[in-house]
Structure 1
């Protein structure tokens, strides 16, 4: 009776170990530097370039108002100084709002697209878990073996360029 119990126990432990070893060796994990991925993504770079042009135009308008304000101060025109000061203040607020809104929009659109591309990247590489390192302590250490950042950047940029 004991013999049957011991043999059954050893058999079930062996089967459990074999099963867990077999399935655990298939689990692939990768680390991607999320900051580098985001900053080197062509879509983000292009969107920032377009938004920068708009912000430069607004800044030039701001410079023009500031120049007019300087002139008004030299001729001591109180009415012009007040109007231009108000315009300069409003323009500054507009620039700040535009900058914040454009950053928010870029971040949302880029991450929406990146998440889909990274999912495809993981499936193509046979990776079951991709951890995003961001330099903020979420990943304290990873061996370069697990770091697929360069490959991920190339993949997402190729996907973007191909229009997928």
Structure 2
């Protein structure tokens, strides 16, 4: 299944490349996704919030840890482990949510930039063939879905 998705992604990129080359006059560019992500001020702000959450969690863990001392038989050790597990899960969920929020903002801003600056396509260079913005008139998603589903039904 993974090979099929990689092949389809590759074919889609090749097709898009041919389309862009064959249609002169289209304004196309690319961005380095990870560089944009790392440089985005919104990321830095949310990263600070996440670090504040981590610091608060660590403070609680340190306090509970101080109550336990060196005793491995202390019943408070279980409480410490439960807090640590809970905080780890909370931090993972917060990180995922912040990352999703950052990408949502970046995608919207890239689309706005493309519209304001007359781009037809802005490709995201991240190794996965991401398309960051395209004129709506160039959207062939529905036609591709029909084509893929017809081929699937035929067993191809």
The question of 1:106 aligning with 2:98 is answered yes
Among candidates 81, 87, 98, match of residue 89 of structure 1: 81
Q: Which structure is higher in RCO with an 8 Å CA cutoff and minimum separation 6?
A: 1
Partner of 1:32: 31
Rounded Cα–Cα distance in structure 2 between residues aligned with 1:138 and 1:24: 20
Partner of 1:58: 57
Rounded Cα–Cα distance in structure 1 between residues aligned with 2:116 and 2:24: 18
Bigger-Rg structure (1/2): 1
Query: Structure 1 residue 60: deviation in Å?
Result: 1.4
- Number of equivalenced pairs: 109
Query: Structure 1 residue 55: deviation in Å?
Result: 1.2
| TM-score, normalization by structure 1 | 0.59
Higher helix share: 1
CA RMSD of aligned residues (A): 2.1
1:65-116 deviation digits (Å, cap 9, x = unpaired): 2232224x1xx8x4xx1x2211111111122112111111112211222111
Unaligned runs of 5+ in 1: 1-22, 140-164
The question of 1:131 aligning with 2:123 is answered yes
Query: Structure 1 residue 24: deviation in Å?
Result: 2.4
Unaligned runs of 5+ in 2: 1-21, 131-156
Query: Structure 1 residue 36: deviation in Å?
Result: 1.1
